[in-house]
Amino acid sequence: MTKIGSAVTVLGLLVLALVVSQAVAGAAQGKWFQVGLATGEANGYKWSSGAKGLRGKSLTRICTEISMVEPPRNGTDVGEGRDATDCGELKAASDVVVTNESLGPKKSGITVLEAIYRPLIRKVTIVLIGGQRIALMAQAPKVGVAGSVPAFRYVATSFDASSCVKRIVAFDGRGKVVSRQASPPC
């Protein structure tokens, strides 16, 4: 298989993983939305993130979704993958749903982090152990059908698997801290 064919296959698997996770959730198709949010590649690993939840304006049930695929091994087109989903509700301004998933060895693997917030969040800073900070502007999902996907903001990024998240801080449009979440020990 060519490199282009392998890349198409891997991206197809990432999309399939997001679709399958929706089916596994057992939700009635008419009541739930599902939207892809971000994709990336780091250290040869490909990843995608998405969200799913109840249609309409409510954020009482919303889930993060991450799919990751490692680089092919030993000259083959075969690599392993991993999916992660976390669900929660966004009732209060400080509520957040976060998924933080790693794949591969600490020295060469990656960690993907996705966080979903209420619409007032505009900036998120991820503080790693060791002091490194990753500042991200919170994005709104790009959706075509108005009214079926509730308004929310998200961030999604990747970094080396050897890095460890200490805390995640979310800010509103005026720079006021709205949420400060400590991460579990690495």
Q: Which helix (H) or strand (E) holds 35?
A: strand 32-42
Q: Amino acid identity, residue 106? A: K
- Residues 116-141 have pLDDT tens digits of 999 999 999 999 998 999 999 999 99
What secondary structure letter does DSSP report for 139?
A: B
Helix, strand, coil: what percent of the chain each, to 5?
A: 15, 50, 40
Whose tokens are 């933080």? That residue is: 100
What does the longest C-alpha to C-alpha distance in the chain come to?
51
pLDDT at 7 over 60: no
Report yes or no on whether pTM surpasses 0.85: no
Whose tokens are 């892809």? That residue is: 36
**Rounded-to-integer distance, Cα 149 and Cα 35, Å:** 8
Q: Out of 13-17, 70-74, 86-90, 115-119, pick the least confident.
A: 13-17
**Rounded-to-integer distance, Cα 171 and Cα 186, Å:** 25
pLDDT at 149 over 70: yes
